[in-house]
A and B are shown apart, each in its own frame.
Chain A
Amino acid sequence: MTATAYDAPATEDDGPDPGATDTRNRVRGRAFVLTAALAAALLVGCLLSAGLGAYSIPLGDVLSSVQHRIGLGGHALDRVGESVLWNVRLPRVVLALLVGASLGCAGALMQGVFGNPLAEPGVIGISSGAAVGAVASIALGLNFLGNWTITVCAFAAGLATVLLVYTLSRSGGRTEVVTLILTGIAVNAFAGALIGLFIFFADNAQITQITFWQLGSLAQATWPKVLAVLPCAVLGLLVAPFYARKLDLLALGERPARHLGVDVERLRIVLVLVVALLTAAAVAVAGIISFVGLLVPHLLRMANGPGHRFLVPGSALGGALVLVAGDLAARTVADPAELPLGVLTALFGSPFFFWLLRRTRRKQGGWA
């Protein structure tokens, strides 16, 4: 094999390239700084979220109570404070972390698999699909797996929906934006109809439960709920980064990715499963929280380029940050009432989505 220096006649500005390695190092440095900044912001967000609310707990008390519980000194709070912190606030913060990380990561993966920056579990109907499973399990009073019933039903329905959307929106190895969005509309409509049907047959208590859950909220966070989604979310989040490099190659198209040694079929199946896992984890406990998976990967791509080795874990981190902050806002801005989190993210996410659509359209010169 050759390592020949091709005798390319030197042109005016084709010199050796000392800048290339510098650029790479700079990009790597930026990824590191971004990761550190996101992690720091996330930590601050978690502490604030644990302390602020109807019953305010000073930051120092939060820290010392946590210290006390893990056996590193500190001291326990009074009975009310301890109960608020450990039975109300912290499960909620942990749930926000899990759900946010799942949504952000699922968005980044999905955009990579579809090769389309507009793919997002909420937009293309995966979340609604998973919601059908969850609503069905509530309305039919299913309880065959105890605590995990809703999660498992959401996963099954979500998986079926991903597969459906994937087959419907692809032609000739490509996913066009229009086809994808239109498929999303159809799937969302169908899922909405199914959910309506289940609500029609549900009793009053179930209807209230379903309605609040559907708006997207973390208000009913408890440790058992955290446990119910933990396996799904953690499994998905652990598997995803291993496929980052292959996702980069997939950006070239299916055939070129195969030419570079990627088993495209297998990659696709694994990632679709992971997306379904992550979406189910998020939807099962928090209802439909849209646009997080769209917004976060996009901002990170703007900040650090499209390389998935940073984007996939970065989006998990960013998604967690957005949701922790969003949940804090949802329960403090309209104090003492509480805004549904899904309403809040949609309020901010939809204009962003609109802007993205305009930009994509302009770049492609219309949808044709």
Chain B
Amino acid sequence: MKALRRLFAAGTDRELPVPAAPGTPLAEAAALSVRLGGRQVLDAVDLTARAGEVVALVGPNGAGKSTLLAALAADLPAGSGEIRIGGRPAGSWSPPELALRRAVLPQSATLSFPFPVEDVVRMGRAPWAGTAAEDEDDAAVAAAMEATEVTRFAARPFSALSGGERARVALARVLAQRAPLLLLDEPTAALDLRHQELVLRICRERAAAGDAVVVVLHDLGLAAAYADRAVVLRDGRIAAAGPPAEVFTGALLGEVYRQPVEVFPHPRTGVPLVVPERKR
């Protein structure tokens, strides 16, 4: 049966991704501008995500974080400028080839039919059907479910889960895809404290294993603790980019978020803590 499927898939020629050396750019946006509904959502944005690093996209609502992520995922045509994925223009890959190179976690996870959790996670393996990596399917699914702590409800229908559990299942699906570029849109939004930390630890591990991770975050503390680089967006432009310790200053964040903040180092680790200025 498997041999038969491979025979069928052999007709669809796909170029498999090769492991990238640390530091290789896996996703690049160059002078990227995007207009949506008559509004300039992104304006001349430059961003590179390299193998082995975690890049956090932060900024106020409507700054263009999700749009930038969607553009990096090759979901949106660039108005002007260029998107490169895996070293080639995004448009030159076929959809199956792109699926081997980047995995995307959408902001909200929906499902039209009540598939059980394990089947949902297994959908992440679809791009590898008909390749040698198909043999890793079971292992990849099991590892992804364990990492996100969803193994316990593997047999439950997705529709019966809580918001946070759904978010973790969606993440497990993305991890199971084992693409070298991970684009995560607010993976921590619905999660409790423990699982927020868990998700960011997973991001670090994937980076350590040689993947590039771009993650949209609202929690600046998480971004400061786990990201190699933080990119602060404001009104579709990059206001600042660099290591969180350099970028996260009271002056910059206060201005970008239009909310005065205090930034001070954690007494033990020295990681910047960002707290809004409060009266008392």
Is chain B found bound to chain A in the same assembly?
Answer: yes
A6 touches B143 (CB 8 A): yes
Known A261-B96, A262-B95: A1·B178 in contact at CB below 8 Å = yes
Name A261's contact: one of B127, B138, B198, B206 (CB within 8 Å): B127
Residues of B contacting A115 in the complex (Cβ-Cβ under 8 angstroms): 112-113
Name A255's contact: one of B75, B145, B210 (CB within 8 Å): B75
B123 touches A1 (CB 8 A): no
A263 within 8 A of B: yes
Which A residues between 246 and 261 are near B, CB-CB below 8 angstroms? 248-253, 255-256, 258-261
B127 touches A260 (CB 8 A): yes
B116 within 8 A of A: yes
A365 within 8 A of B: no
A interface residues, how many (CB within 8 angstroms): 41
A15 within 8 A of B: yes
Cα A347 to Cα B123 with chains together (Å): 39
Please encode chain B, from 111 to 138, with 1 for each CB lying within 8 Å of some chain A CB and 0 for all others: 1111110111001101101000000101
Question: Taking the nearest CB of chain B, how far is it from the CB of A319, in angstroms?
Answer: 19
Name B99's contact: one of A21, A116, A261, A305 (CB within 8 Å): A261
A333 within 8 A of B: no
A1 touches B19 (CB 8 A): yes
Cα A251 to Cα B178 with chains together (Å): 21
Which A residues between 175 and 200 are near B, CB-CB below 8 angstroms? none
A19 within 8 A of B: yes
Residues of A contacting B141 in the complex (Cβ-Cβ under 8 angstroms): 20
B219 within 8 A of A: no
Cα A47 to Cα B142 with chains together (Å): 47
Residues of A contacting B177 in the complex (Cβ-Cβ under 8 angstroms): 260
Question: Taking the nearest CB of chain B, how far is it from the CB of A118, in angstroms?
Answer: 11
Known A17-B154, A23-B154, A251-B113: A258·B118 in contact at CB below 8 Å = no
Known A1-B211, A2-B205, A306-B114: A17·B99 in contact at CB below 8 Å = no
Which B residues between 22 and 65 are near A, CB-CB below 8 angstroms? none
B99 touches A260 (CB 8 A): yes
Residues of A contacting B113 in the complex (Cβ-Cβ under 8 angstroms): 115, 117, 251, 301, 306
A248 touches B95 (CB 8 A): no
- Segment touching A, from B100-108, B220-228, B235-243, B261-269: B100-108
B3 within 8 A of A: no
Name B151's contact: one of A15, A255, A259, A262 (CB within 8 Å): A15
A8 within 8 A of B: yes
On chain B, which size bracket covers the interface?
Answer: 35 or more
Please encode chain B, from 74 to 107, with 1 for each CB lying within 8 Å of some chain A CB and 0 for all others: 0100000000000000000011111110111010
Cα A244 to Cα B141 with chains together (Å): 20
Residues of A contacting B202 in the complex (Cβ-Cβ under 8 angstroms): 6
A14 within 8 A of B: yes
A349 within 8 A of B: no
Residues of A contacting B19 in the complex (Cβ-Cβ under 8 angstroms): 1
Residues of A contacting B123 in the complex (Cβ-Cβ under 8 angstroms): 248-249, 252, 260
Known A11-B149, A262-B95: A4·B112 in contact at CB below 8 Å = no
B151 touches A1 (CB 8 A): no
Residues of B contacting A11 in the complex (Cβ-Cβ under 8 angstroms): 149
Please encode chain A, from 16 to 52, with 1 for each CB lying within 8 Å of some chain B CB and 0 for all others: 1101110110000000000000000000000000000
Please encode chain A, from 246 to 287, with 1 for each CB lying within 8 Å of some chain B CB and 0 for all others: 001111110110111111000000000000000000000000
Question: Taking the nearest CB of chain A, how far is it from the CB of B274, in angstroms?
Answer: 27
Question: Taking the nearest CB of chain B, how far is it from the CB of A267, in angstroms?
Answer: 10
Known A8-B198, A116-B112, A252-B111: A260·B124 in contact at CB below 8 Å = yes
Residues of A contacting B146 in the complex (Cβ-Cβ under 8 angstroms): 5-6, 8, 14, 16-17
A259 touches B102 (CB 8 A): yes
Residues of B contacting A7 in the complex (Cβ-Cβ under 8 angstroms): 205
Name B104's contact: one of A13, A248, A256 (CB within 8 Å): A256
Question: Taking the nearest CB of chain A, how far is it from the CB of B103, in angstroms?
Answer: 7
Residues of A contacting B110 in the complex (Cβ-Cβ under 8 angstroms): 252-253
Most buried by A among B103, B109, B151: B151
Cα A24 to Cα B129 with chains together (Å): 18
Cα A19 to Cα B153 with chains together (Å): 11
Residues of B contacting A252 in the complex (Cβ-Cβ under 8 angstroms): 109-111, 120, 123
B210 touches A1 (CB 8 A): yes
Cα A8 to Cα B34 with chains together (Å): 39
A3 within 8 A of B: yes
Name A20's contact: one of B94, B109, B118, B143 (CB within 8 Å): B118
Known A15-B151, A20-B118: A260·B143 in contact at CB below 8 Å = no
Q: Which residue of B lies closest to A307 (CB)?
A: B119
B139 within 8 A of A: yes
B73 touches A24 (CB 8 A): no
Q: Which residue of A lies closest to B108 (CB)?
A: A253
Q: Which residue of A lies closest to B202 (CB)?
A: A6
Most buried by B among A4, A7, A248, A260: A260
Question: Taking the nearest CB of chain B, how far is it from the CB of A42, in angstroms?
Answer: 24
A20 touches B154 (CB 8 A): yes
A253 touches B119 (CB 8 A): no
B271 within 8 A of A: no
B115 touches A8 (CB 8 A): no
A261 touches B126 (CB 8 A): yes
Residues of B contacting A253 in the complex (Cβ-Cβ under 8 angstroms): 106, 110, 112
Residues of A contacting B251 in the complex (Cβ-Cβ under 8 angstroms): none
Can you list 13 A-B pairs with a CB-CB distance of less than 8 A? Answer: A2-B178, A14-B151, A17-B151, A20-B118, A115-B113, A245-B126, A253-B110, A255-B75, A260-B126, A261-B98, A261-B127, A263-B95, A263-B96
| Chain B residues engaging chain A, CB cutoff 8 angstroms | 19, 73, 75, 94-100, 102-104, 106, 109-116, 118-120, 123-124, 126-127, 129, 136, 138-143, 145-147, 149, 151-152, 154-155, 177-178, 180, 198, 201-202, 205-206, 209-211
Query: What are the 3 A-B residue pairs with the smallest beta carbon separation, nearest first?
Result: A261-B99, A306-B113, A6-B147
